[in-house]
Amino acid sequence: MRRAVAGFIAVGSACVAACFFPDVGSLGGANDAATPDGSTVDATPDVADGSVPDAAPTSPCLDVHAFCDDFDHGTLGAKWDSVTAQAGPLDLSPNAVTPPNSLHTTLTPANDGNGSYLSEGFSQSSRFHTELDVMLTAPADTSKTAILVVGIELPQGSGVDFAAVDVQRYEDGGIFEEGVDLSDGGSDWQDIPISETFDTWKHVAVDIDWNTRKATLTIDGVIVQSANLHDQTPQGGVQLDVAVPYSENENGDWDVYEDNVVVDTP
């Protein structure tokens, strides 16, 4: 991500319990029903694989957070400071981790440098933690493509015009990026490759700790990368951008879905 962008996710998996029952054959029981000839049949509907149905995931917004949006209530963007739609329309989709809605945008080709995203600002704190659910559907040709799925604009230190941490789908993989654009025209960015492609629902979390000067990326509960923050004294707050804060897309339509955006400032 570069300063031309004015902004910039963890997929919560449902807990699944499976119980397997013994074959009771023709044993009678409380749920058996009598037939006209005096025999009995089991009146309880069978579960094909003998398991208990999956428990439905619940919204993280039922708990207390500094910020939370599951996109299930109210107008799209109503909780956010600003809405920008330059690379494609922003809307609600039934393809969601926690029904009924997720945030959705479709990116069409030739949208280099543009974004469609929601932005929210937060006061300065020693730590910033965000997580959300992310899924992309890709065209056949994913070359010449970079799509940010979460962006965090950091407080700017002396001599810094722009500082950020972001997670992006890049061609056939992913990138965890941290860097600064300097007031003298220079820049210093580190792009750390990750194996994820986000083409299924993923739970993405980014934790920024100014005490340790570390930014850590966790996907589906596993720490996959960390980056050292630039040695600058933060001045100001943090801005979180979700959906698609920035894109380079030349080869086809992409659909981007995000759900259950959470921010904590412990």
The average pLDDT across 234-262 equals: 92
Task: Give me the phi and psi of 71, to 5 degrees please.
Answer: 65, 25
Contact 180, 163 (CB under 8 A): yes
The answer to whether residue 229 is domain-embedded is: yes
d(CA 118, CA 244): 8
The answer to whether residue 92 is domain-embedded is: yes
Look at the pTM and tell me if it is higher than 0.85.
Answer: no
Cα separation values, 255 from 15, 113, 131, 202, Å: 27, 17, 20, 15
SS3 content of the chain, % helix, strand, coil (to 5): 0, 45, 50
| CATH code of the domain covering residue 139 | 2.60.120.200
pLDDT value at 167 more than 90: yes
Domain that holds residue 237: 60-264
Closest CA to 256 of 245, 50, 57, 238: 245
Number of domains in the chain: 1
The answer to whether residue 40 is domain-embedded is: no
Q: Across the chain, where does the E strand assignment appear?
A: 32-34, 40-42, 67-69, 82-85, 90-93, 102-107, 114-122, 127-137, 145-153, 160-170, 173-182, 187-194, 202-209, 214-219, 222-228, 238-249, 254-264
DSSP helix/strand/coil, 207: strand
Q: Work out the percent of the chain whose per-residue pLDDT is above 70.
A: 78
The answer to whether residue 162 is domain-embedded is: yes
Torsion, Cα of 75, 79, 82, 88 (10° steps) = -50
Q: pLDDT tens digit string along 8-55?
A: 333 333 333 333 223 333 333 444 444 444 444 444 444 444 444 467
The answer to whether residue 199 is domain-embedded is: yes
The answer to whether residue 211 is domain-embedded is: yes
Contact 120, 67 (CB under 8 A): yes
The answer to whether residue 252 is domain-embedded is: yes
Region for residue 71 given its phi and psi (left: phi exceeds 0; alpha: psi -120 to 50; beta: otherwise)? left
The answer to whether residue 146 is domain-embedded is: yes
Task: Determine which of 75-79, 98-102, 222-226, 229-233 has the lowest per-residue pLDDT on average.
Answer: 229-233
